[in-house]
Amino acid sequence: MQSRRDFELYQAIRHLSILKELPNSDPKEVEEATCEVERRQKNLGEPSEMALLSRLHWWTVEYGLIGTLDKPKIYGAGLLSSIGESVSCLEANVKKIPYSIDAQNTPFDITTRQPQLFVCRDFNHLRDVLEEFASTMAYLVGGLEGINKAIECNNIATCEYSSGLQVSGIFCEALTDENKQPIYFRSKGPTALAFRNKELTGHGKDRHAEGFGAPIGRWRTVNAAPENLSNDQLHSIGITEGRKATIEFESGGIVSGRVEKIVRQDEKLLLVTFSNCSVKQGDRVLFDPAWGEFDMAVGEKISSVFNGAADKDAFLEVALVPKERTIKAPSDVKRKKLESLYQQVRDIRERKVGYERLGEIWETQQAQHPEDWLLSMEIFEILDEVGQQPALKERIAKFLKQVASTNKDKQTLIDWGFRLVEYHKMPEYRAIHERAATAH
């Protein structure tokens, strides 16, 4: 279940991300976009199911740690895909919190490094928490809680009766009894009725263009769920097509009018259509005879509430799609030349020939792309692995250390690069690497 505010926040975050990815973005635009994200985050209101689930996704699939709090390992794709954050996330200043369903209460900012991360014990723990969250979702809970979630999202949702009848629309009100159980609910605007995700003939948005009101619950004098009543049982209490009838609900609601049609599916009673009908709950008039026919939904309870229309094709539901498109900055001539140097080094690494050209490639990088350091690290790694050109290797190491001394973020990355080179020399790594190569 999602809300329009969720989508608006998503659009704001997406816009900010696009600006930050641009190589020459306007700092003023970035600042304005950042303020817009902060404003929408502060005015999000009660988070929807979609917002809560997105947080669980973020703190696990994207930014999850696994193992123990003091020595966790990374499994989140967002961490693994970031060279810097995959290092910094393991540092002591990033708070490590035992993973639980409470992670749903921690919002996130995709534009910056995370100040805290959640650590699950193992993947069974991860699954257990997700199932715990699922057990609270409206599609399983139904009832008043589910209806209220549909009302809060103010978007197209479906309430499904225990009879199987599905009501799809934008819900706006739920009446309850003294025990806080739902006894009547209303939608506003175009609404459609369906069964097993297939729209009922004659009950599309045209018939229910102004909304739909429906009672919920058992009928008085009947000792069974109303959806289970047979035709004979209906006749015994005066519910017959072509005759006037009155149905009193245990909640006190009264439906009175001429029965025009009785609708069943799979032996379940779904609808009773009345003409000249009045519907009252105490002193409140819920339906007036002047409003036309009343299609009375039948069902002891609302068993499920879920996002979107039951029959999406018939409802012609329009998905919310962001208008702004991502921008891929085209490579200029200089960038293409640097990419060519990377490709040459990659070819040498994979073909295991042409090591003598690494010096020439490095000199070109130094002359034409002095701001780049990662290619130098890759060349250093190759030279160390093959044990060639020690003088060149020493010059590259000196350059990398100079870069590290002037930039703290790059220092972390370069230090880890050197550590990786040393790790590759370890007998344990070489044994694993050789076995993998043999298997391949």
pLDDT digits (tens, 9 = 90+) for 46-89: 888 988 999 999 999 999 999 999 999 999 999 998 877 887 88
Per-residue pLDDT band for 421 (boundaries 50, 70, 90) equals confident
- Structure token pair of residue 245: 């009838």
Tell which wins on pLDDT, 211 or 331. Answer: 211
Residue 328 is predicted with a pLDDT of: 72
Asked if residues 174 and 146 have their Cβ atoms less than 8 Å apart, the reply is: no
In the predicted model, is pLDDT for residue 341 greater than 80?
A: yes
- Backbone φ and ψ for 318, nearest 5 degrees, come out as -100, 120
In the predicted model, is pLDDT for residue 45 greater than 90?
A: no
Per-residue pLDDT band for 439 (boundaries 50, 70, 90) equals low
In the predicted model, is pLDDT for residue 18 greater than 80?
A: yes
Cα–Cα separations (whole angstroms), residue 330 to 24, 340, 394: 12, 15, 35
CB atoms within 10 A of CB 91: 8
Q: To the nearest whole percent, how much of the chain has pLDDT over 90?
A: 72
- Structure token pair of residue 347: 């070819």
Residue 429 is predicted with a pLDDT of: 46
Please compute, for residue 266, the number of CA atoms within 13 A of its CA located in the half-sphere on the CB side.
6
Amino acid at position 2, single letter: Q
Asked if residues 393 and 384 have their Cβ atoms less than 8 Å apart, the reply is: yes
Beta strands in 69-163 (DSSP E): 72-74, 95-98, 116-120, 157-161
d(CA 344, CA 97): 44
In the predicted model, is pLDDT for residue 233 greater than 50?
A: yes
Mean pLDDT, residues 132-148: 94
Residue 428 is predicted with a pLDDT of: 55
- Structure token pair of residue 134: 């699922």
Query: Which residues, other chains included, contact 9 with Cβ-Cβ below 8 Å and sequence gap of 6+?
Result: 37, 40, 41, 44
Residue 416 is predicted with a pLDDT of: 83
| 281-312 tens-digit pLDDT | 999 999 999 999 999 999 999 999 999 999 99
Tell which wins on pLDDT, 43 or 269. Answer: 269
What is the three-state SS of 281-323?
A: ECCEEEECHHHCCEEEECCCCEEEEEECCCCHHHHCCCCCCCC
Mean pLDDT, residues 142-161: 93
Of 18-27, 140-149, 177-186, the least confident: 18-27
Mean pLDDT, residues 30-42: 90
d(CA 342, CA 365): 10
- 3-state DSSP call for residue 265? strand
- Residue entry with tokens 């930014």: 63
- 3-state DSSP call for residue 82? coil
What burial class does residue 402 get, using C-beta atoms within 10 Å of its C-beta: 0-12 exposed, 13-18 middle, 19+ buried? Answer: exposed
| 169-198 tens-digit pLDDT | 999 999 999 999 999 999 999 999 999 999
Strand partners, 169: 157
Residue 68 gets which letter from DSSP? -
What's the CATH number for 4-134?
1.10.800.10
Residue 356 gets which letter from DSSP? G
- Residue entry with tokens 């609270």: 136
Length of the chain, in residues: 440
What is the CATH class of 138-315?
mainly beta
- Backbone φ and ψ for 56, nearest 5 degrees, come out as -60, -40
Asked if residues 151 and 172 have their Cβ atoms less than 8 Å apart, the reply is: yes
CA-nearest of 395, 315, 400, 386 to 355 is: 386
| Range from 109-123, 266-280, 330-344, 418-432 that averages highest in pLDDT | 266-280
d(CA 106, CA 99): 11
- Residue entry with tokens 């002891």: 300
Mean pLDDT, residues 210-227: 95
| 363-391 tens-digit pLDDT | 999 999 999 999 999 999 999 999 999 99
Per-residue pLDDT band for 438 (boundaries 50, 70, 90) equals low
Task: Compute the mean pLDDT over every residue in the chain, rounded to the nearest whole number.
Answer: 91
- 3-state DSSP call for residue 268? strand
- Structure token pair of residue 387: 């044990």
Residue 431 is predicted with a pLDDT of: 55
